[in-house]
Structure 1
Amino acid sequence: MTSALVLIGGVSALYVVQFRNYLLFHGLVEVFSILVAFSVFILSWHAIEDIESPFIAVMGVSYLFIGGVDLLHTLAYKGMGVFPEAGADLPTQLWIFGRYVEAWSLLGAALLGFVAARRTSVDVQWDERTLSFLAAAYALVVGIGLSTVFVFDVFPTTYVEGSGLTSFKISSEYGIVGLLAITLALLYGFRERFATRVYQLLAASIVLTMGAELAFTFYVDVYGISNAVGHFFKMGSFYLVYLAVVKTGIRDPQKTLYREIARREAETRKFKRAADYSGHAIMITDAEGTIQYVNQSWEEMTGYSAAEATGRNPHILSSGEHDDRFYEEFWGTIQNGEVWEGEIINERKNGERFVISQTAAPIVDDDEEIQHFVAVNDDITEQKAYEAELENDLQRSVTQLQVLGRVLRHNIRNEMSVIIGNAETIAEDASDDVAQRASVIVDEGNRVLEHAEKQREIVELLLEPSNRRPLSLAEVIESVSEELQRRHPEAAIAVEEFEDVQVRTLPEIEQALTEVVENAIVHSDREHPAVTIAVWSVDGRVEVRVEDDGPGIPAAEQRVISEDADISALLHSSGMGLWLVDQIVAKSGGVLHFDDADPRGSVVTLALPRASAEKKHVVSPPR
């Protein structure tokens, strides 16, 4: 309220003064605007290290020279006596020149601010060196402009005694108004970079400046009312600049000089809150690996406070568990712009070791240059301990099962050997009826031994699986067909000609193929079973098809490879062999499936992943 009363009183006093002593009125108005201009420069220059707004930076430097030209204009004004022989044209020339400097400066500042607001890649450091270069450029331009007035006398005439303003002066005023209108539009385009009140004050200042320039197009007498109105507008314009930059810059610098810094600090506070509530331990370093930020979870996990960690290298957490190659691979990955994921054994401040699951990635600018690295960590120490305990329990269970399995199989073999031996003796010495029953005992005993052997193979496969590797399918099929032809000379095993391929599979695939072919021979109802092995390449996979002319595979045995298999089918049928085949094929990355042959029999297909094609190799049926 007091400020408003003082302002009203000052303007009223100036209004009265301009009627009684226009020269005094003019001097007071110009001195006020000059003081505001110099104040804007001084405030901006002393905030040089923290200014990030190009508009304020350019405006601050330009107002030093605008105030200087206005000072010359004031001293040259008619009646001041500093330039007694110059007349009214000199101050008018200086006025126009000063307004051109002001209009072009504001336009340039607004253009830089507009571009910077939309393109974060515009990265100008408004430090003392930059502003010194800018001030030197202004000094050069203003010096050349003043030399056209004072030295070379080539600046166009702006005022003629008795007739008033020249066309150059009037058209220049309109041109200046146009430049200011463009400035106002650009300023609106990045208004969000200012506090609302600061933007409103700057925009109103430009509007008043435009009004002043229009008023200065009408006067004939330099002491006339139009001239006075223009100066009132100018005083109002500079008063608004004073409120927007000088007063606000002193009382609340975050709204003007440090607006961008305040905005970034607000964003930083939001990020810190989000990081603290994320549940992850977060660390950010600069491009050299120096810690710049850690959140509360990181402090709790490591025992280091943010103050202790900031400025240091993450090596403070090194436990010595990882060698140089590990860290070289880590830094090489993220420095190449890639994301690194893995587990690290670190050491807390108190010396306690802990395990983290870490995801580390680079943070790049718009030019794809790495500026920071961020690491998101989770403490998995308890999880790893639990996994180790489970692993130990599992290993103990596996060992116990292996021992138990060996003992059971040993006992079964020994006891069944005794049973089979006695049954064979009985079959030889007893009557036909008893001998037949003894033969059944021998057959069932041998079947029990076969089951025990398959059980051993299954247990070994499950507990100690082999690694996949490329195998020649021709060699596998040739080995299987020759061996089974030797065991079962009554069977006709045919291998269709095919081009050899490499399959990436377990070595046990030969065992699986043997099981399928032998199962077809043993369970055939024909005197001379016929089995055909064919190989097909389908969509990057290799299919081995075993077709027989037997009675087909019972549905109960086929179901043992499905998830809803009846356990009795697995324990009490030859389906155990098919289940073993399915496990080998599945662990090889393949699929096992059954089809009916035409007109009778079964087709068992082992679909396996292909490795690479090899030279053609013809596999012939064994003789």
Structure 2
Amino acid sequence: MAKEERLIERQDVSGGVLLVDDVGKIQYINEHACEKFGYKMGGLPGLGLYFDEFLPKIDPETVAEGIVTSTYGLNAEGELFPLFFSMNSFRLDGELYFLYVFHDGENRARLADKMSASPNELVDYKFALDQAAIVAITDQRGKIKYVNDKFCEISKYRAGELLGEDHRIINSGYHPREFFTDLWQAITAGRVWHGEIKNRAKDGSYYWVDTTIIPFLDGDGKPYQYLAIRFEITERKRIEAELQKMTAQIIDVQEEERKRLSRELHDGLGQNLYSHLITINRLMSELDHPLLVQMQEEAMEMIEEIRDLSWELRPSVLDDLGLVPAIRSFLTRYSNHYKIAVHFDCVLGRRLAPGTETTIYRVIQEALTNVRKYAGVDEAAVTIREYEDAVRVMIEDCGRGFDISGGPRGVGLFSMDERARASGGELQIISEPGKGTKVILEVPVG
């Protein structure tokens, strides 16, 4: 019996086996390994091939003995496929050999007989994770060195097309440069990053993934590789987009109805009452009766109430003159009526889209209503700033404040948040008991 065969027999190995000498030449390969690499035993090229022609992604000097390692093998079709292996070195007749034993997910029981509990447990974890998640491992420079089958399935790339590349290969262009800058700053500092990313598959289709990236740190606390675990959320994002679109349509319908009611109150009922007031004034010029004075006062009060109601529903100045005049008019009425001085600082040099102007106006209106009801102050501030691609609005008071984590939000805060999202913007509430409140709205502009 040849010394290579005696060595195999001594190890009592079942499953896929490669025996490699100290220069990397394959000295023995069994039938199970042939099947795993896609060869028929009779059709296998002659022995003397090198290790890296079967396992091109592994540096033998970095493989720890007796530890299960995941890698990629190169099959007879020239394609990479994932596999597990363990390695042990032996000397026979003074010569050094390396024995590689291959396993797969179905042979974990066999693996348990040959490995210690700790590596076997890790293999089980990996198997379970691969069934549910999209997994990738990159080196410290971001180069991909491992992807699981689900990654290939969703990205529509073969493993061989992804290995050695970075994640720019699936960059959709949806996220700004700053998004990935912040991501890299977090993980290179050793912090776990979590967020949602829109990617582009090989065929041009787009998909969303909920992503967690975990840095693996060396003894100096520096990342030496990164594990990315992802779950596809494309359908959820589609539904969210549909809901946002529906919400925007509902808000538009509400605003149109408000506009219609406002005009009917102002131009219909309001004008009729004003005509009655003119008639009363004529009667008063001819008759002197206390009931006429009472009728005049009541008519004037009703006209004022209808004007206020019409204004609350939809100020005509917002449609006719635009956002800034409408806000100035609103703040004047607000300050006069509620005795709360509002400092207004605005840098906005143009008209915005009607929906955007309505969103900003309604958020300011609702925020100041909350100031009046809950803040307990006699002054507040509204600031509007225009940037290259967004408008930022801040409503601020130094009143009672509240605990933003203290329970569900009220109708007013919910309404502001829904309006912001329907416009593609974002609403932020900053508040603490006794330290006032800031409502910050950012909406994109073309």
**TM-score interval, normalised by the smaller of the two chains:** 0.3 to 0.5
Query: Which of the pair is proportionally richer in helix?
Result: 1
Q: TM-score, normalised by structure 1?
A: 0.34
As a proportion of its length, which structure holds more strand?
Answer: 2
Task: Kindly name which structure, 1 or 2, has the bigger radius of gyration based on alpha carbons.
Answer: 1
